[in-house]
Structure 1
Amino acid sequence: MYKTKSTWEQFEDLVKRILEVNNFFIQVHSPRGDSGFDFLGLFGNDRWAIEVKYYRTARARPSLIKAAAARVANNGLLGGTQRGMLVVSSVLPAELRLVLEEKFSITFVDRTDLRNYASVSPDLAEELDALLEADPDYVRELSVRHEAPWFKGRLINEREAPPSDTKGSELCNRLKETKRGKQAWSDYEKLCIDVLKYLFPNDLQGWHPQKRTDDGVSRYDFVCRVRPMTEFWSFLVEHLNSRYIIFEFKNYVGKIKQGQVLTTEKYLLERGLRKVAIILTRAGADKNAFKMMQGAMREHGKLMIVVDDEILCRMLHMKERGEDPTDCLFELTDDFLLSLPR
C-alpha cells in the first residue's frame, strides 16, 4: 500500500526546492541526525550546513530553537562548512532572532522568510501555504519580498558555539540500564519523573503525586495541570475537555494487560476535567489492553496513550535535536483515533 510522506518530510523537501530556486545548490548531507545536518548547500564560494525543523506549533519555542541551533553550528564546523542555516516552520519574533543570531552566529529562516523566498515561484508559494495552513490575511501581508538573510550571515567559526544538549541521551541510557520488575519500581518511577520534566518543562504544572498500591507494590502516579502551549496540549484541553493529565509508571517485564488498563481508566474523571492518561511502560500493551483503550475512548471519551521504552528514547533524542517531543505524542494520538473502530 502506498504511504504518503509525513508532514515533516514534505516540509523538508519543500525547503530544499525553495532554496534551489533562490540559487542554492543543495545536496542531501550524510550523516544526518545527531552527528550531522540535513543539507549541504553551496552558494557562491560558501558551503552551508542547513538543518530543517518542522513544528506543529506556529509559535517558536526558544529552548528547542536553541538546541537545534547549537547542533547546526557544531556539526557544521565538524563538516567543514563556513556558514550555517536553521530553517523552522514556526515564526521567530524579531527580538528572539537577534539574540539567536548573536549567540550562534548562524542564519535563521522562519516561515515568514520562507514564504517570501517562495514567492519567486507561485506554485511553491501555494504549496507552502497549503502545508502550513497559512491564514489568507497573513499571506497578503507578505506581498513584498524581503532581502534574503543568508547574504548577511556570519562565518560559523567566528565564535565558539555553545555545547550541544546531551541530556536526552543520558536519560535514554539510564532507561536501558534500569531493570524491569517490582524490585526496580522505585528507580523506574524516579527516572520517569526526570524524563518528563526534561521533555515538558513548560507544558505541565503541579506534579501532584497520588499514592496507590498495585500488585502489592506501593508507588506514586502523578497528576499534572496542562498548559496548552502546543497543538497537542491544546487538543487535550479544547477538544477532550481535559485540563489535567495522569501519568502512570508501570515497570512490568512484559506488555501490560487489560487489567492494568482498567485500573488506569478508573482514575480518569470526566467531572474532574481529567480524561487523559499517558502510561509509561517498558514493553507496551498487548492486544486486549489496546482493545480496552479503544473501548474507553469510544464509549466514555477517555484517552489513554501507551509510551514504551523505544518511543520514550525517540522523544528524548527529539528534544536533544531541538525537535518538539509533543509532536510524537500528537502522532500517537492521531494514529490511535484514526484506527478507532465503530
Structure 2
Amino acid sequence: MDDLDTEMGEWMTTLPQIFEALCELLLEEMGYDVSMNARREVGFDKIGTKDGERLAVEVRWTHRPMVYKRLLSDWVPTTKALHLAEAATRVLMVSGTVEKQDIKWAVDNYDVKLWGRNELLKKAPEDLKPVLKLYFKVVDEESNPLRKASAEDRVAVTETVRTRIKEYKYGEKLGGQLRQVLGGKEDAKNYEQLCLEITNYLFRDILVDPQYQSYSDDGLSVLDIVYRISPNSGNEIWKTIARDFRSRVIVFECKNFSGSMGPLQVYTTERYLSPRALRTVCFMLTRLPPEPNAILAAQAAMRESGKLLVILHDEDLRQMLTTRDRQLKADPGSPAWIGNDPSEFLDRKIYEFLATMPR
C-alpha cells in the first residue's frame, strides 16, 4: 500500500469515529444520559436514558450520501437481533439520507426507529446543526470523485469538525468538573490543572505562552499559572489592563481551600507581584466567595503598591465559561462575539473592586 492509500485509509476510518461522536453529542443535547460502555455492557453502541425512557442505539456509517435498502436490509435486522436485558426503544442512526418508506419499513417489520441525516438534523438544536451540516458536506465531497478536496483541505475540515465537537459547550463541561474537584490539599494539583484548562479556554485568543508553576524573580516563590498578553489580540479590555496597571505578565493563583479565603493568602500572594518586573496583575482563583477582610487586604495592596489582586470563586468561573460557550458559537469580531466576551466579566469585577476601594 503506497502513502496515498495509507492516507486515504486513515482519513476514511476517521470519519466514522467523528460521526459516532456527533451521535453521542446529539443524544446528550436531547437530554439523554449516555452510557460510555454500552458496547461492552449490552452490545449496543450507545444506551441513553431520560426520565425513565431508554434508548438502545446502533450507529452505522457509510461514505455514500444515500443509504440504500441493500445496506438497511443488513443493518436493521442486526439492530433488532441484539440482545437487551431491559426494555428499550431500538434506534439505528445512519450517516446518510434514508427514504421515508424505509423508515416505515424498519418500524413496521423490526420495531426499529431509523434516523438518517434529515432526522438527525431535525432533532439537533440550532447551534449543533452547523456542525452536522459541515460533517455531511465533508462526506459528500469525499464520495464524489469530481469534487475531491486536496489532502490539506480534507485535514483542515476534519480538524474543524473535531474542534467543534470537542468545544461544543466545553465551558459547561469544565464548570461541571469544578464541582467534582474537592476543596483541600489532596485535590490541589487537580484543581490547578483544571484552572489551567479553564483559563486557557476562556482567554486563549488573548493570553498566550502559559507557564505552569513558574518561579518568580527571587528563584523561590512559585506562581501557579503565568501568561503574557498577546500584542496581536486586539482586545481593548486587556489592552486597558496592561496599560493602566503596567503589566506584561498576568498571574493566576489557584487556592483550593475548602473554606473562604482570608487576608493572609492575599498578603502572601502580593509579595510575588513586582511592578519592576511588570508583573502587577493577579487573579486569585478559589472555591468560595472570600472573607470581606480578604477584599480589604487586596484593596490595600492596590492602594499602597499598585498591585491588582482580583479574587474569583467557582461561580464566577462558571459564569465566564457559559459566556465563552456562547461566544464561540459566533463569528470572531461579530457583535455576538464581542457581546459574549468573558473579559467583560473581569472588567466589571475590576471596576467594582476599584469603585469600592477605601481612600
> What TM-score comes out, normalization by structure 1 length?
0.51
Q: Secondary structure at the match of 1:225?
A: strand
What letter corresponds to residue 295 of structure 2 in structure 1? F
1:36-185 alignment runs, 5 A limit? 74-75=125-126, 165-185=168-188
Structure 2 CA distance for aligned equivalents of residues 226 and 211 of structure 1: 16
Structure 2 CA distance for aligned equivalents of residues 281 and 262 of structure 1: 15
Are 2:286 and 1:281 aligned? yes
Structure 2 CA distance for aligned equivalents of residues 219 and 169 of structure 1: 30
Are 2:205 and 1:205 aligned? no
Q: Deviations over 1:70-121 (max 9, x none)?
A: xxx943899xxxxxxxxxxxxxxxxxxxxxxx98xxxxxxxxxxxxxxxxxx
Q: Secondary structure at the match of 1:321?
A: helix
> Cα distance, 1:265 vs. partner?
0.4
Structure 2 CA distance for aligned equivalents of residues 320 and 299 of structure 1: 38
Count how many residue pairs are aligned between Structure 1 and Structure 2: 190
What letter corresponds to residue 234 of structure 1 in structure 2? K
Give the one of 255, 267, 282 matched to 1:250. 255
Q: Deviations over 1:112-158 (max 9, x none)?
A: xxxxxxxxxxxxxxxxxxxxxxxxxxxxxxxxxxxxxxxxxxxxxxx
Give the one of 210, 225, 229 matched to 1:226. 229
Go from structure 1 to structure 2 and tell me whether the alpha carbon gap of 1:183 and 1:331 turns closer, same or farther (over 3 Å shift).
Answer: same
Structure 2 CA distance for aligned equivalents of residues 261 and 298 of structure 1: 14
CA contact (8 A) 2:223 2:252 kept: no
Go from structure 1 to structure 2 and tell me whether the alpha carbon gap of 1:339 and 1:210 turns closer, same or farther (over 3 Å shift).
Answer: same
Q: Secondary structure at the match of 2:288?
A: coil
Go from structure 1 to structure 2 and tell me whether the alpha carbon gap of 1:252 and 1:238 turns closer, same or farther (over 3 Å shift).
Answer: same
Higher alpha-carbon Rg: 2
Percent of residue pairs bearing the same amino acid type: 37
Unpaired stretches in structure 2, ≥5 consecutive residues? 1-28, 31-123, 135-163, 216-220, 328-339
1:233-312 alignment runs, 5 A limit? 233-312=238-317
Q: Secondary structure at the match of 1:75?
A: coil
Q: Secondary structure at the match of 2:290?
A: coil
**Higher relative contact order (CA closer than 8 Å, sequence separation 6+):** 1
Structure 2 CA distance for aligned equivalents of residues 211 and 269 of structure 1: 15
User: Which residue of structure 1 lines up, in the alignment, with residue 191 of structure 2?
Assistant: 188
User: Which residue of structure 1 lines up, in the alignment, with residue 355 of structure 2?
Assistant: 338
Deviating runs (4+, > 4 A) in structure 1? none
Flag the structure with higher helix content: 2
Structure 1 CA distance for aligned equivalents of residues 358 and 294 of structure 2: 15
Unpaired stretches in structure 1, ≥5 consecutive residues? 1-33, 36-72, 79-101, 104-161, 213-217
> Cα distance, 1:259 vs. partner?
0.8
Structure 1 CA distance for aligned equivalents of residues 322 and 249 of structure 2: 26
Structure 2 CA distance for aligned equivalents of residues 223 and 199 of structure 1: 14
Structure 2 CA distance for aligned equivalents of residues 75 and 241 of structure 1: 43
Structure 1 CA distance for aligned equivalents of residues 256 and 128 of structure 2: 42
- The Cα RMSD (Å) is 3.1
Structure 2 CA distance for aligned equivalents of residues 340 and 270 of structure 1: 20
Go from structure 1 to structure 2 and tell me whether the alpha carbon gap of 1:76 and 1:310 turns closer, same or farther (over 3 Å shift).
Answer: closer
> Cα distance, 1:211 vs. partner?
5.6
Structure 1 CA distance for aligned equivalents of residues 256 and 214 of structure 2: 16
Q: Secondary structure at the match of 1:249?
A: strand
> What TM-score comes out, normalization by structure 2 length?
0.48
Structure 2 CA distance for aligned equivalents of residues 288 and 74 of structure 1: 46
Go from structure 1 to structure 2 and tell me whether the alpha carbon gap of 1:306 and 1:76 turns closer, same or farther (over 3 Å shift).
Answer: closer
> Cα distance, 1:325 vs. partner?
0.7
> Cα distance, 1:220 vs. partner?
5.7
